Amino acid sequence: MSFAFTLPTTSPVNFTTSFASSSAPSLPSATTTRRALLRDTLKRYKRLTPAEQYNNIPSLLSSISEYLPYLYTLDAYITSQDITPLTEFETEWRAVLSRRTVPTEPPRIRRKGLDYEICFATATLAYAHTLRARTFLANAIQAPPPTDNDATNTSVHLINQAKDQILTAASIFLYLQNRSTTRERGSSQPMPADVTTSIYNALWSLCLASATLLAVLKDDPYPSIVALQHDKNSKEWMYKAPAVPTRVRSLLFARLCMYSADMAGKAAAGVAATPGSGAELKSYCEDMAKTARAKACRFQAIDAEGRGELGEAIGWLVAGKEVLGMVVGGDGDKGKLGRGLDMLKKAREERKMEKVPMEALLGSDAGRMEEAMVLNELERKWRRINDSVNFHAVPSTSSLLAKLPTGRSMFPENQTWTPPKLSSSELSQLQMQAPNGGELDWVGADDSDDDIMAPPESSMPPGGFPRSQSTGYY
């Protein structure tokens, strides 16, 4: 449940041609060196296979974290007028969130001003944290199921780590949103969608929606049904049913899911309102909003079933599938899934999912299909009981959807990221060094064309919900 951002690449930049400092003579050259290292890391990351990219994310995070203190210190020196501008600073980044007019990669866009560099470099850090969250989710797929004597649940621990990474990304996007509203851009040209206030606000909303769903996921037993379906050799479902949440927790989960749906819907609207933004991100936000709303319906169904209202519970399940766009017909039928789910199952059989690398097990629809499968399993079970024992009437979905609760936030919405800066000891060292004191060795490192794409070892769709043949938590 995290979007798979494509990391941008950038052209070389030499800060010493644009800035000079008498108080810290080596700061521009040291910043140039750290940026060249980051640029080289991004180019090498792009050329890796998908499996290698996932393993390389910690190194990438380290490179960005080493560069940003120099960049933000340079920005602070400019603000305090300890830096003398020599020429107008320009930088060039690939706009990965902007609309593509051709099937090839989006072009690099050059703009003036240090703020353009700061926004792209800082957003890249947030993208990397989101990709790191996907790594934790992929590892959670393959974690072994906890035993009765196991004091720790590896899957839950990994999901918590993924949630923390998403929250860090949210705080970075909130910082960029606040910065973009208070700082004047150095260029009079229109900015790409990647560095607009509306996109930052949308990404912040999307991250909060994702983190909330992950918090629900770690206590949600029902997605394990999907994992059991993928493992034909597992017989665990015969003797170990999922632990059903209590009524109070079901209602709490429903409110958390509604909050996630609201935030994801806000993100989709923000992306749609941003000129030049790509359709891929908007589609993912819309899928997450549908998934979260359908989950809220499912938890309402669990609460109704716990009260003995099996007809109402079935109605909530049908309403959830209607939200997902998977229901054929109206309220009178039994809420059968459309052909989309059958096609998905057929595609999974053809791909032989047990042989697909774990990166390909991360879906691109924010868990929409998986939630539909869970709803379908519960409906099949409860309809069998209702048709043979209870005979409760199933209410209309329109009357139930009107009763959905309001959302409830779980995490603080004002948690903003603090830009890193060089320590006093590091600044003292730069103040004593002469400019260009061996710091520019990396400025031209790996200056070849970076449009070489990674070999298609496996598909890695953007964002989504873990899909697994494991009998673990999922």
Residue range 285-341, pLDDT digits in tens = 999 999 999 999 999 999 999 898 999 999 999 999 999 987 654 444 444 555 555
Averaged pLDDT for residues 172-190: 83
pLDDT of residue 352: 41
For residue 251, pLDDT over 50 is answered with: yes
For residue 366, pLDDT over 90 is answered with: no
Q: Given pLDDT bands bounded at 50, 70 and 90, which one contains residue 359?
A: very low
For residue 232, pLDDT over 70 is answered with: no
pLDDT of residue 31: 95
Q: What distance in Å separates the CA atoms of residue 101 and residue 439, rounded to the nearest whole number? A: 40
CB burial class (10 A; 0-12, 13-18, 19+) of residue 453?
exposed
The counts of H helices and E strands in the chain are: 13, 4
Averaged pLDDT for residues 446-473: 46
- Picking from 179, 171, 254, 182, the residue whose alpha carbon sits closest to that of residue 212 is 254
Q: What distance in Å separates the CA atoms of residue 144 and residue 224, rounded to the nearest whole number? A: 12
Residues 277, 282, 284: CA angle, nearest 5 degrees: 140
Give the residue carrying structure tokens 């999974």: 348
Quote the pTM value. 0.86
pLDDT of residue 418: 96
Q: What distance in Å separates the CA atoms of residue 163 and residue 251, rounded to the nearest whole number? A: 21
For residue 472, pLDDT over 80 is answered with: no
pLDDT of residue 167: 97
Which one is predicted more confidently, 87 or 234?
87
pLDDT of residue 255: 96
Q: Which of 82-86, 175-179, 210-214, 439-443 shows the lowest mean pLDDT across its residues? A: 439-443
Averaged pLDDT for residues 175-183: 90
The residue type of 447 is D
C-alpha 135, offset from chain centre:
11
Q: What distance in Å separates the CA atoms of residue 201 and residue 238, rounded to the nearest whole number? A: 46
User: How high is the mean pLDDT of the chain?
Assistant: 81
**Annotated domain spans of the chain:** 15-432
pLDDT of residue 355: 40
Q: What distance in Å separates the CA atoms of residue 380 and residue 361, rounded to the nearest whole number? A: 26
In DSSP terms, 92 is beta-bridged to 110
pLDDT of residue 80: 84
pLDDT of residue 327: 62
Averaged pLDDT for residues 86-91: 92
Which one is predicted more confidently, 84 or 472?
84
Averaged pLDDT for residues 226-252: 59
Q: What distance in Å separates the CA atoms of residue 443 and residue 39, rounded to the nearest whole number? A: 9
**24-68 pLDDT per residue, tens:** 889 999 999 999 999 999 999 999 988 888 889 999 999 999 999
For residue 401, pLDDT over 80 is answered with: yes
Give the residue carrying structure tokens 């790996």: 446
For residue 186, pLDDT over 70 is answered with: no
For residues 149 and 79, is the Cβ–Cβ distance under 8 A?
no
For residues 310 and 382, is the Cβ–Cβ distance under 8 A?
yes
In this structure, which topology does domain 15-432 adopt according to CATH? 1.25.40
For residue 169, pLDDT over 90 is answered with: yes
Q: Given pLDDT bands bounded at 50, 70 and 90, which one contains residue 457?
A: very low
For residues 285 and 367, is the Cβ–Cβ distance under 8 A?
no
For residue 202, pLDDT over 90 is answered with: yes
Q: What distance in Å separates the CA atoms of residue 448 and residue 459, rounded to the nearest whole number? A: 26
- Picking from 177, 166, 181, 178, the residue whose alpha carbon sits closest to that of residue 200 is 177
pLDDT of residue 40: 95
Q: Which of 26-30, 67-71, 85-89, 221-225 shows the lowest mean pLDDT across its residues? A: 221-225
**β-bridge pairing 19-20 and 84-85:** antiparallel
Q: Could you please report the per-residue DSSP string of 188-251?
A: SSPPPGGG-HHHHHHHHHHHHHHHHHHHHHTT--TTHHHHHHH-TT--GGGT-PPPPPPHHHHH
Give the residue carrying structure tokens 């209590």: 246
Residue 296 tokens, joined: 């809220």
For residue 120, pLDDT over 90 is answered with: yes
Q: Could you please report the per-residue DSSP string of 120-148?
A: HHHHHHHHHHHHHHHHHHHHHHTSPPPPT
Q: Which of 80-84, 177-181, 350-354, 441-445 shows the lowest mean pLDDT across its residues? A: 350-354
pLDDT of residue 369: 81
Q: Given pLDDT bands bounded at 50, 70 and 90, which one contains residue 459?
A: very low
The residue type of 309 is E
Phi, psi of 273 (to 5 degrees): -85, -5
In the chain, what is the straight-line distance between the N-terminal and C-terminal CA atoms, in Å?
13
pLDDT of residue 147: 55
For residue 471, pLDDT over 70 is answered with: no
Specify the DSSP element, H or E, that contains 93: strand 90-94
Q: Given pLDDT bands bounded at 50, 70 and 90, which one contains residue 183?
A: confident
In DSSP terms, 466 is beta-bridged to 362
